[in-house]
Structure formats: structure tokens, C-alpha cells
């Protein structure tokens, strides 16, 4: 894989998809449909997916592509592939809360190694460079011309005063019970893959997810966090979270800065 080309293409497509999403987000009304799993999907999901998948297939025709909005791609198998969630946080989008992202990632040997997370309504953009390290780009964002970037790095966590981030839409008692095992200084909620990015920038130390997610929800954020020195492990046994699973469904997991002393499930 030509990583320089990969990052250039992923970044450009994420911004173009973000522009399309914001057009619909800022319109007076948009249609919301319900998928077979009862989750919502909007015309923004579909428009962003069409743009991203066409761009990736044109640039990397020989690389397997998995995308949330194309069920036919969910039966493909392999451990090296591109994976897309064109609009992660559809509930946040529908409720106009802004915490939604465009996620594009490259998985190699079951490990997300490169990724882009773009939050157009929040005007935040995170991605890995060709060497795998992670940066945040300053806006305003132009698809053709990258702006100024700053390297990001996980925190040097203080286990006596941890900063924890949890899901905005999927918070439950099991999550609160697990967080209760730590000495927490501050707690924040965020939607979509932004939670990974808040750990990557050091704005949070720990993100436990005791709930269902799919690989397209997490791969891009996982890559960004790994490029900033963070880790993502299974909730049950703290082994690394791997990708390319048969149904693309994740077990519960924990994303964290390595200085955090993980508690057992």
C-alpha cells in the first residue's frame, strides 16, 4: 500500500463527504429511515457512502472494501481491507447534536493502521500520517489542500484523577459500574468515534465501551488512537481488539492511554 496516497485520498474523501453531510444537516428537513436492525439511516449516510466508496474503489480497486451502508460488503472476508462508516453517530445527526463523524480506515492483518476521523459540525479533523503517527488538522478544511497539522499524543494518565469519556447515546448502568472502579476526576460524554480522538489528544484517559459496536464504528478512531500512543483491548480479557471478524461485530472494549492501570471486567 502507498500510504502517502492512501492518506491523501482518505482525507480528501472525508472532507468532501463532510461537506455533503453538512448540506443536508443544515437543510430545513431530511428523511430518516429505519434499517433492518432498527437503527436510523438518513440521506446523508447514503450520499456520503456513495461518494466515499466510489472514491476508494477508483483509487484502490484491488483492496477489499467494507462499508456500513452496503450490506453486500458485509459478507466479504479477509484481514486486510478498507472500512467505512460514512456517518457515525446518526442519532446525533438526527437530533442535531453535532457529535457525528466520517470514518475511513485501513486494516492490515487485523489491525487498523491508518485512519481518518472528521467531525464536520465540530470542525475537528484527526488522521494518521503515512508513517502511522497521528495529527489533528486545523480548520477551515479544504479537500484539495491540507491545512496546518499538530502531532497528538495520549496523556500521561494520573490514576488518582482520571478523565473518562463515555457514549452520549448508549450510556448504561454496566458502563457506570465499570467506571466506578476508577478514581475519576472528570467525566464527559461524546458521540461517535470522537471518543477515541479525545483519548488520542489527551483530553480523556479512558473510554470503556460496554455495548454493541461494529468494526466500521471503531476502526478509524482505533487507528488514530494507536498512532497517538494509545491502546484498544477487549473488555473481558484485555487482549488486543482485532478486526476482520466474521460478522464485523466487536466485543465490548476499552480504549485508553497506556498509563491507565486497567481494572478487571
- Residues of the binding site for Mg(2+): 68, 85, 87-88, 217
3-state secondary structure of 24: helix
Give the burial class of 13: count Cβ atoms within 10 A of its Cβ; 0-12 exposed, 13-18 middle, 19 or more buried.
Answer: buried
Q: How far apart are CA 146 and CA 148, in angstroms?
A: 7
The annotation places the binding site at: 68, 85, 87-90, 217
Contacts for 233-238: CB closer than 8 Å, 24+ residues apart: 233/262, 235/208, 235/209, 235/210, 235/265, 236/265, 238/262
Terminal CA-to-CA distance of the chain, rounded, Å?
Answer: 37
The annotation places the binding site for substrate at: 68, 87-90, 217
Q: How far apart are CA 149 and CA 127, in angstroms?
A: 10
Peptide bond into 140 cis (omega under 30): yes
Amino acid at each position: 500500500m502507498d500510504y502517502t496516497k492512501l492518506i491523501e485520498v482518505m482525507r480528501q474523501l472525508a472532507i468532501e463527504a463532510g461537506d455533503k453531510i453538512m448540506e443536508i444537516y443544515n437543510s430545513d428537513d431530511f428523511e430518516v429511515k429505519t434499517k433492518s436492525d432498527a437503527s436510523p439511516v438518513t440521506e446523508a449516510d447514503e450520499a456520503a457512502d456513495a461518494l466515499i466508496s466510489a472514491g476508494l474503489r477508483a483509487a484502490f480497486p484491488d483492496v477489499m472494501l467494507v462499508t456500513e451502508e452496503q450490506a453486500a460488503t458485509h459478507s466479504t472476508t479477509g484481514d486486510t481491507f478498507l472500512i467505512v462508516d460514512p456517518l457515525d453517530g446518526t442519532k446525533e445527526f438526527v437530533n442535531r447534536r453535532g457529535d457525528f463523524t466520517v470514518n475511513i480506515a485501513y486494516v492490515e492483518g487485523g489491525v487498523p493502521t491508518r485512519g481518518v476521523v472528521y467531525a464536520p459540525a465540530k470542525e475537528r479533523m484527526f488522521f494518521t500520517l503515512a508513517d502511522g503517527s497521528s495529527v489533528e488538522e486545523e480548520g477551515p478544511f479544504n479537500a484539495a489542500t491540507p491545512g496546518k497539522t499538530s502531532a497528538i499524543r495520549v496523556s500521561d494518565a494520573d490514576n488518582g484523577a482520571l478523565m473518562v469519556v463515555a457514549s452520549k447515546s448508549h450510556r448504561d448502568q454496566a458502563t457506570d459500574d465499570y467506571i466506578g472502579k476508577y478514581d475519576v476526576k472528570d467525566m464527559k460524554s461524546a458521540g461517535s468515534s470522537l471518543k477515541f480522538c479525545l483519548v488520542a489528544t489527551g483530553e480523556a484517559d479512558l473510554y470503556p465501551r460496554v455495548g454493541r459496536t461494529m468494526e466500521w464504528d471503531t476502526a478509524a478512531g482505533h487507528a488514530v488512537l494507536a498512532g497517538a500512543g494509545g491502546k484498544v483491548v477487549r473488555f473481558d480479557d484485555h487482549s488486543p481488539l482485532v478486526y476482520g471478524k466474521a460478522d464485523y461485530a466487536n466485543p465490548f472494549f476499552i480504549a485508553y492511554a497506556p498509563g491507565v492501570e486497567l481494572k478487571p471486567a
